[in-house]
Amino acid sequence: MDLKKRIEEIRKGESPEHIAIIPDGNGRWATQRGYERTRGHRKGSQAAEKLIEFVSNQLPIKYLTFYTFSTENWSRPDHEVKFLMILLRKFLKDKGIKLTQNNVRLRIIGDLQDLPKKTVAIVRETIDKTMDNDGLQLVMALNYGGRREILRAAKQITTKIVKGKIGLQNLTEDLFRSNLFAPDIPDPDLLIRTSGERRLSNFMLWQLAYTELWFTDTLWPSFSSKDLLDALRDYQSRDRRFGHVEERKNKQ
């Protein structure tokens, strides 16, 4: 089946509103080919660009989240971290106009204050430029960690309780959620992780409670629209019950 027909088939089924991606394997892609790891990151950025354009133009998906830079990524060699920051700035500077043309809105989750000033500036500029776009919402997790997000929310709620703004009896899941980075964004319906790893790596730990997980051995720089359609086809074959049990009628 050619790509156009596969897209049509996917569009006929129930599509996820929100897809989250852990784009893993840039370094391995490069080393397997005898390149520097930075070349893998550059190739991975190109793969992300193609996928964003494909999703925004071809699929009825509202939110697409990338685990772009985690709190743990600071432990990588300084030159690699510096390259990743430069690559992010270049991506947003070069593709910011394209995001607007494709009606894509940029959103961010994570602690921006720890990032280089130049990076923060271009991120905020792109957020402002795309603010009014009502198509695909592209969410980048920058300097993000799931545990840090939960701890941050707990501190904010505790402060409100201590100051008497809310009572302990008011603490609910909805209240807790309202203190996360982007409480208006729905939980991911589907999480995709590339490179064969099968773990969450501190990503959206609160939000992934009932998310469908899909893992592939494909390294991120080689991930294509066809791989995404494979993930969507698998997603559409699943029965999402969110902890409920369907009653079975006894056969006579």
Side by side, the strands of the sheet bearing 18-22 are: 105-109, 137-144, 63-70, 18-22, 190-193, 212-215
CA distances from 171 to 92, 162, 215 (A): 38, 13, 35
pLDDT tens-digit profile of 92-126? 998 888 898 899 999 999 999 999 999 999 999 99
- pLDDT of 245 reads 61
Question: Is position 128 annotated as part of the catalytic site?
Answer: no
117's CB contacts (< 8 A; 6+ apart) are: none
Q: Which residue has the higher pLDDT, 172 or 244?
A: 172
**Region 65-80 average pLDDT:** 97
Structural contact between residues 141 and 69, judged by C-beta atoms closer than 8 angstroms: yes
**Region 79-88 average pLDDT:** 97
Question: How far apart (Å, rounded) are the C-alpha atoms in residues 12 and 109?
Answer: 31
Confidence of residue 251 (pLDDT cuts 50, 70, 90): very low
CA–chain centroid gap for 138, Å, is: 8
* 138 part of a folded domain: yes
Tell me, what CATH number does 227's domain have?
A: 3.40.1180.10
* 1 part of a folded domain: no
* 134 part of a folded domain: yes
* 203 part of a folded domain: yes
* 154 part of a folded domain: no
Structurally, the chain folds into a number of domains equal to 1
Which structural domain range is residue 67 located in? 15-146+187-236
Residue type, 220: W
* 168 part of a folded domain: no
- CB half-sphere exposure, 173, CA atoms < 13 A: 3
Q: Which of 2, 57, 73, 187 is catalytic?
A: 73
Q: Tell me the whole-structure pTM to 2 decimals.
A: 0.93
pLDDT tens-digit profile of 189-236? 999 999 999 999 999 999 999 999 999 999 999 999 999 999 999 999
**Region 19-33 average pLDDT:** 98
Average pLDDT, the chain: 94
Question: Is position 189 annotated as part of the catalytic site?
Answer: no
Q: Which of 24, 102, 143, 189 is catalytic?
A: 24
* 8 part of a folded domain: no
* 66 part of a folded domain: yes
pLDDT tens-digit profile of 124-174? 999 999 999 999 999 999 999 999 999 999 999 999 999 999 999 999 999
